[in-house]
Amino acid sequence: MLKPTLIQACKAGAAEILRFYNGEFKVSNKEGVNNLVTEADHASEKAIINIIKSTFPDHQILSEEIGALEQNSAYKWIIDPIDGTINFAHGIPLNCVSIGIEKNGEMIMAAVYNPHLNELFFAEKGKGATLNDKPIAVSQQTQTIKSCLVTGFPYTYINTPNGPLEIFERFIRKGVPVRRLGSAAIDLCWVACGRFDGFYEHKLEAWDSAAGYLIVEEAGGTVTDFNGNKFSPYQHRVLATNGKIHNEMLDIINNRKQL
């Protein structure tokens, strides 16, 4: 029942996104500049949680807007009801529902659904990844200089050495195309299906990355932190690639190598 409930929950949240999209809705701001939350975020989250609770009332939930609903269960649903809220609020159709399912601390199933493009990405641990039920795989690019990359920037800017702008500059000054879509979940899924060769970001939360990183791994990609360690959605930094450019990107990110 996990997969049907996951898909149903994604579509319930997406229906709320479409109901509010390009319409009138209330907008408020969380910590940081332009860190928005809308009436649609709350409606999507409520619809998703209602579906989950109707089938699995004892499961834990971690969701962006309401936080943690802890229970004595091995299962945890990690939810972003609208990943790409800024895009949504401005009528840009690059936003999605992102839901990952964790069992005993390991991601076992994930779905990301962009209803504007009708693209449903899905992965189950050990069983591969799909886009609209068709298998997907990462790209075969072997050189970072020839890659198409994607990144994002944190709302609350952290003025630390080797920060987002410094790394961004290393790539773009050498002519590497680096896009900025505004939805980490979509970024990860587009790495998984080969549209991008790599994605990096300095400050993500668990609901941003939990689903997408499993989808990348199940599509044959590699996901780590900036030190090359096994990725956990509970730490902020992520590098997701096709695997073939991963070590080179780690060297560039950590300023050990120049393009």
The 10s digit of each residue's pLDDT in 151-197 is: 998 866 666 778 899 999 999 999 999 999 999 999 999 999 999 99
Distance CA 136, CA 1 (A): 23
Distance CA 51, CA 54 (A): 5
Distance CA 32, CA 115 (A): 28
Could you tell me if 202 and 237 are in contact, meaning their C-beta atoms sit under 8 angstroms apart?
A: yes
Question: Residue 80 catalytic?
Answer: yes
Instruction: Pick 2-135's CATH classification: 2.40.50.140, 3.30.540.10, 3.40.1280.10, 3.20.20.70.
Output: 3.30.540.10
Residue in 16, 41, 45, 64 annotated catalytic: 64
Residue in 16, 41, 45, 83 annotated catalytic: 83
Residue in 16, 41, 80, 248 annotated catalytic: 80
Give me the mean pLDDT over the 4-23 stretch. Answer: 95
Predicted local distance difference test score (pLDDT) of residue 191: 99
Question: Residue 66 catalytic?
Answer: no
**pLDDT tens sequence across 55-82:** 999 999 999 888 888 889 999 999 999 9
Residue count of the chain: 259
- Above 90 in pLDDT, residue 115? yes
Residue in 82, 99, 136, 252 annotated catalytic: 82
Predicted local distance difference test score (pLDDT) of residue 27: 72
Give me the mean pLDDT over the 247-256 stretch. Answer: 97
Distance CA 63, CA 99 (A): 9
Distance CA 81, CA 63 (A): 8
pTM above 0.85, yes or no: yes
SS (H, E, C) 153-193: CCCCCCCCCCCHHHHHHHHHCCCCCEECCCCHHHHHHHHHC
Question: Residue 208 catalytic?
Answer: yes
Question: Residue 86 catalytic?
Answer: no
Question: Residue 45 catalytic?
Answer: no
C-alpha torsion angle, residues 93, 115, 113, 205 (rounded to 10): 40
Residue in 41, 124, 187, 208 annotated catalytic: 208
φ and ψ at 57, to 5 degrees? Answer: -65, -20
Residue in 38, 49, 78, 85 annotated catalytic: 85
Which residue type occupies 139? S
CATH number given to 144-253: 3.40.190.80
Distance CA 196, CA 186 (A): 11
Distance CA 124, CA 201 (A): 24
Contacts of 49 (CB under 8 A, 6+ apart): 61, 63, 66, 69, 79
Question: Residue 17 catalytic?
Answer: no
Domain coordinates of the chain in residue numbers? 2-135, 144-253
